[in-house]
Chain A
Amino acid sequence: MVPSVLFAIFAGVLVLSALGVIIARNPVHSALLLILCFFTSAVLWLLLEAEFLALVLVLVYVGAVMVLFLFVIMMLDVNVTRMREGFTRYAPLGAIVSGIIILQLAGAIWLRSGLPAAEPLTPREAGHSNTRELGAVLYTEHVYAFELAAFILLLAIIAAIMLTLRQRPGLKVQDVSAQVKVQRKDRVRLVKMDAEKDS
C-alpha cells in the first residue's frame, strides 16, 4: 500500500519534471529539472530495493555530471531565440522520429504482451545487501565486460586530456612544482654588516 502510493507520487514527479526539461524556456531551469528527474528515479530504484544503484545515480549524475552541466550552461551565454529559429523547419522531422519511437514502444509493450504480468515484489530479509550481491556478480561472471568498460573509460579520459592539452607559443605559464619547491635561501639573503656610523 505505502510503496505503491510512494511510487505514484515519485513517478508523477518524474514524468512532470521530464516534461519540464524540454518545455522550460531557460536552459538552467531545464538542467535543474533534469536533476529532479535523476533524483526521483533514484527514489524509484530505492523502492525496488536497489539501494546501490540509487545512491550511485545520485552520487555520479546529481553530484558530479549535472554540476558540470550547470557549470557549462551558466558560463556559456546560450542564445535561446537563435536556437528556436529553425523550430518550424525541423518540427515535422522531429514529429516523425518521435512517432516512430512511440510506435516501437507501444509494439514492444502491447503486441508482445505474452510475458507474464509482473508479480508484486517480495521484500528481502533484513540482512540482504544489494551492494555485495552486485559486486559478487560484477567481479566474477561479468568481469570481462567490466574490465572492458573500465578500459574504454580510461581511453576516453586520456583522449579528452590529449584533446585539451595544447601548448600555445608565447604563453606565460607558472611552473607550480618549481614554485612549491622554492626554499627560503632562494629568495632571501640575509646580509650581516656593521652598523654605519656618522663620521
Chain B
Amino acid sequence: MNWPAGLEQALPEWALTTLTSLVQIGVVCLVLILSVAFLTYFERKVIGFMQNRMGPNRVGPRGLLQPFADVIKLLMKEVIVPSSANRFLFVIAPVLSIAPALAAWAVMPLFPGFVIADIDAALLYVLALTSMGVYGVILAGWASNSKYALLGAMRSAAQIIAYEIAMGFALVGVLMAGGSLNLGAIVEAQAGGPLSWFWLPLFPLFIVYFVSGVAETNRAPFDVAEGESEIVAGFHVEYSGVAFAVFFLAEYANMILIAALTAVLFLGGWTSPFAGSMFSFLDGSVLEFLRASGLHWLALKTAFFLFCFLWFRATFPRYRYDQIMRLGWKVFIPVTIVWIFVEGVMVVLGVGPWSS
C-alpha cells in the first residue's frame, strides 16, 4: 500500500507495517460483514423464488435494506443469560465461533499479488482455524446448561470431527497437485483456463471438500446441530439479541469462507475462465477484459458456491444422524484415500495439468 510521503517519513518501518496490516484487515472484515448481511437477503430471496414466494420486499427498494432492519432488531433485543449458565463461557462462545471465520481470511489470495499475510503454510493455517470453529458450538451448548443445547453441541462435535478428516484428505490432494502449501502458489499452479483448474483432475476431492464444507458449517441438509424440529434450535437455543446475531454472523461468514476456499483450491481463485489459449481470439476485441484475472472472478466463483449452499438448503431434507456419520466415515474418507493414491500414480506417470 502507498502511504502519503509525509507519513512514510514520520513513522518508523514497523509502525507503517502495522498500520498497513490494520487497514487491510479492517477493509477485508468490513467487506466480509457487509457480504454476510446481503447473503442473508440473497438467501431469503433465492429460497423464496425456489418456493414460489416473493421473499422480503418491504424494507427499502426491493427489500434491499432488510438485512439492516434485521440487525437493528437484534441489537435492540435484550441479551438474556440463563440463571444457572456459566456466564463467562456463555458470553465468549459466540466470539470463539466468529473469530476463526474472520481470521482465516488473512491468508486468502484475493487478487494477483494481494494477500494480507503471505505465509508458507497457509493451507495448514486454514485447516487449523476451521477446526477451531467447533469450540464456539460446543461451549455454547455446554455453557447454556440446557439439555437441548447440549444435545446440539454433542451432535455438532461428532459431525465436525468426522468431516474434518475427509476435508483434510481432500486438502492433501490439492497440496500434491499444487506443490505448495501457500494458497497464492496453488492459485498460480492452476493458471490457464478451466481445464487446468484442479476441479477436473481432483473431481472426487472437489465434491468431497465442498460437501464436507457444507457439513462443517452446520448448514442444511447437515444442520442436525440446530435441528429445529427435534431439539428446538440446538446449541443456540438459549441465546438472544446480539449474542445470537454473532452466531448468525459466524455461520454465514463460515459459508463465505468455505465457498471462497473451494473457489481458490479447485476453481483457480482469481484466474479468469477465459485465460486459456483457446480463448486467445478474444485478444484485441471488446471482450479482452474477460481474460484478465482479478478479484471479480474470485467473487463470482464464491457467489456460485454460496448459491449452491442455498440451493442445497431449499432442495434436500435433513439427513438422519446415523446417515451423516456413515457418509462421513464410510464414504468420503475412503473416496479421498483412493483418489490420493490415483493422484500419486498420475503424478508419477506425468498425467495431469501439474506436469506441464
Given contacts A58-B132, A71-B157, A176-B326, contact A63 B121 (CB under 8 A): no
Of the four ranges (under 10, 10 to 19, 20 to 34, 35 or more), the interface on chain A belongs to 20 to 34
User: Contact check: which of B120, B139, B164, B181 meets A63 at CB < 8 Å?
Assistant: B164
A190 to chain B, nearest CB (A): 23
Given contacts A67-B134, A67-B138, contact A130 B120 (CB under 8 A): yes
Pairwise interchain contact A131-B154, C-beta atoms closer than 8 A: no
Most buried by A among B119, B128, B139, B181: B128
Q: Which residues, 66 to 119 on A, are CB-close (under 8 Å) to B?
A: 67-68, 70-71, 74-75
Q: Which residues, 116 to 159 on A, are CB-close (under 8 Å) to B?
A: 129-131
Of the four ranges (under 10, 10 to 19, 20 to 34, 35 or more), the interface on chain B belongs to 20 to 34
Of the listed stretches A3-11, A12-20, A49-57, A164-172, chain B binds A49-57
Pairwise interchain contact B154-A64, C-beta atoms closer than 8 A: no
Residues of chain B lying within 8 A (CB to CB) of residue A59 = 124, 127-128, 131, 168
Pairwise interchain contact A55-B131, C-beta atoms closer than 8 A: no
Q: Which residues, 146 to 176 on B, are CB-close (under 8 Å) to A?
A: 150, 153-154, 157-158, 160-161, 164, 168
Pairwise interchain contact A74-B150, C-beta atoms closer than 8 A: yes
Give A62 to B181 CA distance when docked, in angstroms. 21
A1 to chain B, nearest CB (A): 11
Pairwise interchain contact A71-B124, C-beta atoms closer than 8 A: no
Residues of chain A lying within 8 A (CB to CB) of residue B125 = 55
Given contacts A63-B134, A174-B322, contact A75 B120 (CB under 8 A): no
Residues of chain A lying within 8 A (CB to CB) of residue B135 = 35, 67
Residues of chain A lying within 8 A (CB to CB) of residue B124 = 51-52, 55-56, 59, 131
Residues of chain B lying within 8 A (CB to CB) of residue A32 = 89, 139
Give A59 to B158 CA distance when docked, in angstroms. 16
Pairwise interchain contact A28-B142, C-beta atoms closer than 8 A: yes
Give A148 to B181 CA distance when docked, in angstroms. 26
For B120, the closest partner residue in chain A by CB is A129
Mask of A21-39 contacts with B, CB within 8 angstroms, 1/0? 0000000100010010000
Pairwise interchain contact A71-B154, C-beta atoms closer than 8 A: yes
Residues of chain A having any CB pair with chain B under 8 Å: 28, 32, 35, 51-52, 55-56, 58-59, 62-64, 67-68, 70-71, 74-75, 129-131, 174, 176
- Besides A51-B120, A63-B131, A71-B157, 16 other CB < 8 A contacts? A35-B135, A52-B121, A55-B124, A59-B131, A62-B128, A62-B131, A63-B127, A64-B131, A64-B161, A67-B134, A67-B161, A68-B157, A68-B161, A131-B124, A176-B322, A176-B326
